[in-house]
Amino acid sequence: MTLIDALILGTLEGLTEFLPISSTGHLILASELLGLEQTDAHKAFEVSIQLGSILAVLFLFAHKLLANTLLWSKIIIAFIPTALFGFLFYKTIKTLFGIETVSIMLVVGGVVFLIVEYFRKDHDDIHDKTVENLTIKEALLIGLAQSFSMVPGTSRSGMTMLGGIFVGLSRKSAAEFSFLLAVPTMFAATFYDLYKNRTTMVIDDYSLVAAGFVTAFIVAFVTVKWMMNYLTTHTFVLFGVYRIVVGVLFWFLVAGN
């Protein structure tokens, strides 16, 4: 891996982690195009730079998280389903990581977003509930939606945003709760991954990890702020179309060969 590779992957991680287009899927696809083998060192790199994205969310929402203890209880409740499924089916989930699965799930997720927006097109976001009005039961339902995102290509943020819309959150509030829920989810997934593979994951160049980490932080910071503004006046249609195009493209160019 070169410095350029590290910067590209760091940018992709920061850009796609909080957009409903699957960061894991994009990293797998990008690594394939860059000719990077999925070695233990490469996997350790990808896991490590995720922390940069998490820190960006903590930085942006620190005040809200510190000022609202009730919100933390909702986040923890929403995190439980993913934690249980991840612990129970960790090995099975890892076997799904591949170009074919990513391509298919990108397309499936894109179609779902378009269907949701088709039926929601006349719905006014102004009357929807906010994160502060979310009930414990609704938070749990969003958490159940998130658990499906363990299939690569599905998108953690995408599933939580769809779950948020399903329980009545506005698009912007659904995105906000998705970002907040990413904190315990990504921390747990990252450190559990490092622990499970502690004997095989070896980082062979810390300077490349640092470059990817910092890049992921900066790009994630900008992306989250942009996403919150974008969803004030836009829908998820753009992301749905993007997912379908990328999924089909990679199926024919990479997975289908």
Kindly write down the DSSP assignment for every residue of 122-133, as one continuous string.
Answer: T--GGGSB-GGG
Model pLDDT, residue 251: 85
Model pLDDT, residue 132: 86
Mean of the per-residue pLDDT values for the chain? 86
Model pLDDT, residue 50: 87
Q: Per DSSP, what are the bridge partners of residue 129?
A: 169
Count the Cβ atoms, other than its own, within 10 Å of residue 197: 15
The number of C-alpha atoms within 13 Å of 89 and in the hemisphere containing its C-beta is 15
- Structure tokens of 166? 């399903």
- Tens digit of each residue's pLDDT (9 = 90 or more) over 155-179: 889 999 999 999 989 899 999 999 9
Domain boundaries, the chain: 3-255
Q: Are 46 and 36 in contact (CB under 8 A)?
A: no
**Is the confidence at residue 45, as pLDDT, over 70?**
yes
Residues 6+ apart with CB under 8 A from 109: 20, 22, 153, 154, 155, 158, 240, 243
Lowest mean pLDDT among 64-68, 98-102, 127-131, 139-143: 127-131
The number of C-alpha atoms within 13 Å of 222 and in the hemisphere containing its C-beta is 10
Model pLDDT, residue 198: 63
Model pLDDT, residue 121: 64
**Is the confidence at residue 255, as pLDDT, over 60?**
no
Q: Per DSSP, what are the bridge partners of residue 169?
A: 129
- Structure tokens of 239? 């992301």
Mean of pLDDT values over 236-243: 94
Model pLDDT, residue 10: 94
pLDDT band at 7 (very low <50, low <70, confident <90, very high): very high
Give me the sign of the Cα torsion angle 97, 102, 105, 109: positive
Percentage of residues in the chain with pLDDT exceeding 90? 42
Mean of pLDDT values over 2-30: 90
Residue with the bigger pLDDT between 9 and 40: it is 9
Q: Are 243 and 106 in contact (CB under 8 A)?
A: yes
Mean of pLDDT values over 4-29: 90
pLDDT band at 248 (very low <50, low <70, confident <90, very high): very high
Q: Are 12 and 27 in contact (CB under 8 A)?
A: yes
- CA distances, 171 to each of 30, 43, 160, 174, 206 (Å): 29, 33, 11, 5, 38
